[in-house]
Amino acid sequence: MGLWNWLRGRQASDRSPWGNFWFEPVGVHTTAGIRVTADNALQLSAVFACVRIISSQFASLPFRLYQHRPDGRKDRVTDHPIYRLLAKRPNQYQNAFEWREMMAGHLVLRGNAFNQIVANRQGEITTLVPLHPDRVTIDLLSNGDYRYRYSTLTGTEQIYPRSQIWHLRGLSSDGIIGLSPIALARSAMGGALAAQDYGSRFFANDAKPLSGYIEYPGSFKDRMARDQFRESLQEAQTGANRGKIAVFEFGMKYHQLGLTNEDAQFLETRKFQVNDIARWFGVPPHKIGDLDRSTNNNIEQQAQEFVQECLGPMAERWEASIEAELLLDDDDLEAEFLFSQLLRGDSEARAQYYNAGINAGWLTRNEARLSENLNPLPGLDHPLRPLNMAEETGG
């Protein structure tokens, strides 16, 4: 008997008083017999770790807003309403880190993040109020446009036009709604939840298999009598009665099924699921504690790949949405999240980088000081020019 067949038969139909059918969240059943939602998927340590790593590291990126000059240069802007919202306080309930972490978590876990846009009489955006993605639906209108419908905690519904909602969407198949990673990975998450639940039940039963059968030489009067006997036996061997000696009458014999963790390859299954979940979220396994294939030689490269292939596209998604949905075209402003802190490396590598840039003339000494959070000094704002690169003068 395979692990998944055993779990499917036990989980999908166990509606007894000690079963967990009635306590599972509403969702879609998987082939492993587990309902999977975005919330109960977080009970998996690998899923929670992936969502936490991505959302917290993205929220820690410094946000910048730049104004372009005609000569191609750009100046940092700090007095714009959008900068104050995204870098300081988006609403009265959250600071910028908490809000960005939540939005990134919604985007990673559910494929969509929503904010109600609140503006003043001058048309300036003053507040971004987060809306839970599970309570947002989209209505398609007859003119080809769409609007947002939000169910509040009090049971009422609010309808918002597109102009009042900032919608961050992930990978989308229609350009309107982002695809939910949990919905796409439901079978993988269901298998992982089933294996986790199996392990909990296994050790809750003194690390003994949970399945067996009673051999009875006679016959019960009817089905109700048989069910009553099974339930009373189950009740006498679970909870506070766990471990007590069972007494069988009328020639009954207990037979334990031979399912073992080795037969089901339980540990190998759990290890594979950690890598599989990390693959779904684009996170290197070592970031969530799986160091089986990580070495001192490749772990730094994997960290760089995480920044470039996971956080980088997310930052581009945010920047493009901010410029298209929150900024006016006439402003000619550019939004950017800085990755310099995540790509700094060790002190020796940074020293070599600064030394090369300063000596080659493309980095000033004060720029290097600012990168190290040091105040600039007088006379260090001009690039050095190597003597062998000085322009020749005609004689």
φ, ψ at 158 (rounded to 5°) = -125, 140
| Average pLDDT value for residue range 65-84 | 88
pLDDT category of residue 193 using cuts at 50, 70 and 90: low
Per-residue confidence (pLDDT) for residue 168, from 0 to 100: 96
Separation of alpha carbons 80 and 85, rounded Å: 9
pLDDT at 112 over 60: yes
pLDDT at 5 over 50: no
pLDDT at 104 over 60: yes
| Average pLDDT value for residue range 100-125 | 94
| Average pLDDT value for residue range 22-44 | 62
Per-residue confidence (pLDDT) for residue 6, from 0 to 100: 42
pLDDT at 54 over 80: yes
pLDDT at 197 over 80: no
> Quick count: other Cβ atoms within 10 Å of Cβ 46?
25
Separation of alpha carbons 195 and 270, rounded Å: 7
Per-residue confidence (pLDDT) for residue 207, from 0 to 100: 43
Separation of alpha carbons 212 and 218, rounded Å: 18
Three-class SS of residue 128? Answer: strand
pLDDT at 69 over 50: yes
Count of residues in the chain: 395
pLDDT at 102 over 80: yes
pLDDT at 100 over 70: yes
Per-residue confidence (pLDDT) for residue 30, from 0 to 100: 52
pLDDT at 62 over 50: yes
Give the pairing of strands 74-76 and 333-337: unpaired
Max mean pLDDT range (159-168, 340-349, 364-373): 159-168
Give me the sheet containing 136-140, strands edge to edge. Answer: 136-140, 146-151, 157-160
Q: Are 304 and 284 in contact (CB under 8 A)?
A: no
pLDDT at 16 over 80: no
Q: Are 164 and 128 in contact (CB under 8 A)?
A: no
Higher pLDDT, 29 or 190: 190
pLDDT at 259 over 60: no
Per-residue confidence (pLDDT) for residue 33, from 0 to 100: 53
Comparing C-alpha atoms, which of 162, 184, 190 is closest to residue 171? Answer: 184
Separation of alpha carbons 24 and 19, rounded Å: 10
pLDDT at 282 over 60: yes
Give the global pTM: 0.69
Separation of alpha carbons 285 and 278, rounded Å: 6
Per-residue confidence (pLDDT) for residue 71, from 0 to 100: 76
What is the DSSP track for 260-320? -HHHHTHHHHHHHHHHHHHHHHT--GGGGT--TT--TTTHHHHHHHHIIIIIHHHHHHHHH
Separation of alpha carbons 180 and 372, rounded Å: 39
Per-residue confidence (pLDDT) for residue 253, from 0 to 100: 80
Separation of alpha carbons 125 and 164, rounded Å: 10
Give the mean pLDDT of the chain: 79
Structure tokens of 146?
A: 């769409």
Per-residue confidence (pLDDT) for residue 185, from 0 to 100: 74
In sequence order, what are the residues at sequence separation of 6 or more whose Cβ sits closer than 8 angstroms to the Cβ of residue 201?
210
- Angle in degrees, 0-180, between the axes of helices 96-110 and 45-59, rounded to the nearest 10: 140
Half-sphere exposure of 115 (CA within 13 A, CB side): 24
Higher pLDDT, 233 or 193: 233
Separation of alpha carbons 320 and 315, rounded Å: 9
Q: Are 45 and 283 in contact (CB under 8 A)?
A: no
What is the DSSP track for 2-49? -HHHHHHHHHHH--STTSSGGGSPS-EE-TTS-EE-HHHHTTSHHHHH
Q: Where are the domains of the chain?
A: 1-131+169-207+259-343, 212-256, 346-395
